[in-house]
Every structure is written in structure tokens, then in C-alpha cells.
Amino acid sequence: MAQESDPAPTTPVSEMQASAMQASAMQASSPLAQALEWGRERFNARYEHHTKALRRPVDPKEFSIHLMENMGTLVDAVAAHDPSSVNRVVEELFEISLELMSAGYVGLHSRYRLPEMVFRQLLPATAPFMAQNPRLVAGSLINAALAMESEPSARPEEWVERMKMAATVAKTPKGLLDAGIALSWHCGMAHFRSGALELARTMPVDLALHIFHREGAANRNELMERLSTKWTPGEEDDHTVKKTRKPVAVIGGFTGFGGPFGAPPTVYQDQDSLAARDDIADFIIFADRFGAVVKRREPAEPQSGVVKPDKETVRFVKSVFPNAVGGPQTKSWAWDGTTLAITLKVSHKVFLFSLRRP
């Protein structure tokens, strides 16, 4: 008896097309819809190739929703600026979107918020730069947003808003991305401090003054002087209120709850930096008035850069923080000249205090 043949399976591409057509029925003439129609065969081929190459395939309906909901405003902005660049921008964003969705960074079930915020809010504000180099601009800004979203001290929503303003002053894609690095430091990524200060010193002065307008500086020299101040002016000089002094930041935490330390850490000074180690790994501490970050690093050579406090330093720190040196609960302390780090015997946290020698 003849066997009935199985019906031809619906291909992922056909599902994507049907979903896209349904979602864009009211926007058939939009720049995005026109670009997708222009490159239909190429986009379908890229989708099929990308999906077959992945262990985690991209759902076609979910992908089409992303295209329509997250890219429409951006493509409209690019079309208003330079219609001739729309197809190239959509082509690059299609590829980037496949990579992001396959990795779980965008989509209906993604736990990440910032990439979609970048698509919907920030990238449309950067249309002139997207028209010039879409992969560089979109890829860099989305990567920056993902990095900030994974850093507890970062303020990525603030960064997005300030980057939209930076886009009105930057003249080139490089200027925009330099502003992104500098502002990420200002929005909590303390480990970018040295690089951001160098960018503030070398980028066009109008851009530097604009993105750091909160510093209230009138020129670059004044700006650099203010940015170089690690803690809020006056905060470092207050050595009188000892019992009520509060930490400027608390970082760390137990690995079982998402923190970096497997055991209560010990802090120490490594050359000009504050560092920490637990029973397993070594860490570097970055902290200033914009944020505090602890980063795992390769273990330092034994005693290679460790700076042991001299008697004068011990006497000074103890005069300001009587319980920091030899206190019954204190596990360790270290001071780099502007920041005092203290750890406790029963805590996986590092407590940071602003402290400068008078």
C-alpha cells in the first residue's frame, strides 16, 4: 500500500515572512518594510544559514517582532537623514539582530533590557552616524549597554539619556563612541576612569564640556581639575565626624548570591591601587564618586606590588577610624591615599570610605 507523503514543513523563513507581513500591514510603505522587501532573498538566506549553524535557533515569529518593534523608528530616522543608506543599515542591523537574538540578548524571553532600549531610544538619535558606519556604531553601543547592565554600580538608563544628548554635539562616529566610553565612567563604570580622563583631555573641547556639563566647568583645564577629584569636594577633608562617617560605597558579596567572593576577602594596597583576594582569586578595586567596581584578575606575584602601611599611615588611619586598625570585627584594611577599604571577618563585602591625608 502506498504511503502518504508528509506535508512539506513550513520553513522558518516563510513563517518569518508571514509574521512580518501581518505585523507591517499598516506600514507596507515604511522604509523598513521597503528595505526588507529589497533584500528579501538575501535576508532569508542569511536567516536560514544562521539558524542552521546555531545550536539555539532563532524563532522566526519572535525575530519578526523584534524587526518591526525595535528597528522601525531607527530606520525612519536614517531614512530622514540619508535615504540612500537605508538598505545598508537594515542589512547590517539584520545580521546584528540575528547574533543578539541567538545569544538571548533580545527577544520576548530575554532577561536583558538595555539592548532593546538602545535600539528604540539611542540608535534613532544617532542616525547620522548609523548612516556612515552602522555595524561599528550599533555594535559598539549595544556592547557598551550590555556591559553596563551586568555591572551593579552602573546606571545604564542615565547613560542612554546622556548619549542621546552627546549625539547632538559629536561630529564623527569616533567622537560619539569616545563620548560613550567617557560617559560610561561618569555613569558608574569606575574601571574606565583612566581611559575616560584621557578622552576628556583629548576629545574636542565642545564635546567634552557638553557631556560633562554637570561638572560646571567653563574650559578644559577647569574640567580636568574637577574630573580628577576622586570624591565629592569637601568629603575627603572631613576627618572630624568619626562615629557617624558612612561608607561612600559597599562592593563585593558572596558568590552564592552573585557576588565575586567565595570567602570574606582581605584587602591590600597593590602599588597605587586597592586590591582584594579571597581563598581562590585576586581582584582589583576601582572606586570614585561616580561608582565602585571590583574586577577579577590574574593573581599578582607574591609581594610583587604590595605596599605595607608604615607607622605614620597606621596612626593616621586609626585616628580617623579607630575600629579599622585592630578592631575586633575587622579582618583587613588598606588605604591608597584617597580611599580606605575595610573588610570584616563575617562579611563578603568591602566597605569603602573617602579619606585623604590633610
List pLDDT tens digits, range 60-80.
889 989 998 999 999 999 999
Written as one letter, the residue type at 273 is: S
Q: How confident is the model at residue 239 (pLDDT cuts 50, 70, 90)?
A: very low
Chain centroid to CA 29: how far?
A: 36
What is the pTM assigned to this prediction?
0.85
Q: What three-state secondary structure class fits 277?
A: strand
> Alpha carbon of 13 to those of 7, 19, 82, 240, 355: distances in Å?
17, 10, 29, 69, 61
Confidence (pLDDT) at 238: 47
Strand partners, 295: 284
Confidence (pLDDT) at 272: 83
Query: Cβ of 153: how many Cβ atoms within 10 Å?
Result: 19
Confidence (pLDDT) at 13: 43
Residue spans of alpha helices (H) in the chain: 12-23, 31-38, 40-52, 60-81, 86-102, 114-117, 123-125, 127-132, 134-149, 156-166, 173-186, 193-202, 205-211, 220-227, 311-320
Confidence (pLDDT) at 83: 96
Distance CA 325, CA 313 (A): 11
Query: Cβ of 227: how many Cβ atoms within 10 Å?
Result: 22
Confidence (pLDDT) at 301: 55
Strand partners, 95: none
Q: Is residue 240 part of a domain?
A: no
pLDDT at 244 over 90: no
Rounded (10°) CA dihedral 238, 158, 342, 316: -20
Rounded (10°) CA dihedral 149, 151, 156, 158: 160
Q: Is residue 290 part of a domain?
A: yes
Least confident of 138-147, 189-198, 230-239: 230-239
Strand partners, 354: 339
pLDDT at 4 over 50: no
Q: Is residue 243 part of a domain?
A: no
Please report which helix (H) or strand (E) contains residue 325, including its range.
none
Residue 88 and residue 99 share a domain: yes
Residue 217 and residue 121 share a domain: no
Residue 304 and residue 178 share a domain: no
Q: Is residue 102 part of a domain?
A: yes
Residue 35 and residue 116 share a domain: yes
Q: Is residue 234 part of a domain?
A: no
- Range of the structural domain that residue 172 is part of: 151-228
Q: Which of 91, 122, 149 is the last residue of a domain?
A: 149
Least confident of 47-56, 102-111, 138-147, 151-160: 47-56
Confidence (pLDDT) at 166: 97
- pLDDT tens readout for residues 300-323: 555 556 677 777 888 888 888 877
Distance CA 352, CA 339 (A): 7
Distance CA 172, CA 136 (A): 12
- pLDDT tens readout for residues 283-306: 999 999 999 999 998 765 555 566
φ, ψ of residue 87 to 5 degrees: the values are -60, -40
Mean pLDDT of 44-57: 80
193-202 and 220-227 are packed helices; what angle lies between their axes, rounded to 10 degrees?
Answer: 170
> C-alpha cell of 33?
518594510
- pLDDT tens readout for residues 102-132: 999 999 889 999 999 999 999 999 999 999 9
Confidence (pLDDT) at 134: 97
Contact 242, 322 (CB under 8 A): yes
Residue 281 and residue 200 share a domain: no
Residue 288 and residue 347 share a domain: yes
Q: Is residue 6 part of a domain?
A: no
Residue 192 and residue 141 share a domain: no
| Pairwise pLDDT comparison (18 vs 114), residue with the higher score | 114
> C-alpha cell of 192?
574606565
Residue 203 and residue 93 share a domain: no
Least confident of 54-68, 161-175, 186-200, 225-239: 225-239
Rg (CA), the chain: 26
Counting residues of the chain whose pLDDT is more than 70, the rounded percentage is 85
Q: Which of 90, 115, 149 is the last residue of a domain?
A: 149
Q: Is residue 161 part of a domain?
A: yes
Q: Is residue 133 part of a domain?
A: yes
Distance CA 143, CA 136 (A): 10
Burial code (b: 16+ CB inside 10 Å, e: under 16) for 58-82 equals bbbbbbbbbbbebbbbbbbbbbeee
Q: Which of 116, 149, 182 is the last residue of a domain?
A: 149
> Alpha carbon of 262 to those of 28, 175, 217, 350: distances in Å?
55, 41, 43, 13
Residue 15 and residue 143 share a domain: yes
Residue 273 and residue 223 share a domain: no
Distance CA 146, CA 13 (A): 28
Least confident of 63-77, 88-102, 214-228, 325-339: 325-339
User: What's the whole-number average pLDDT of the chain?
Assistant: 86
Kindly tell me the number of DSSP H helices and DSSP E strands found in the chain. 15, 9
Q: What is the largest CA-CA distance in the chain?
A: 98
Residue 181 and residue 128 share a domain: no
Distance CA 100, CA 143 (A): 10
Length of the chain equals 358
Question: Beta strand pairing status for 339-344 and 273-277?
Answer: unpaired
Residue 98 and residue 201 share a domain: no
Q: How confident is the model at residue 341 (pLDDT cuts 50, 70, 90)?
A: very high
CA angle 20, 26, 29 (to 5 degrees): 85
Domains identified in the chain, total number: 3
Counting residues of the chain whose pLDDT is more than 90, the rounded percentage is 62
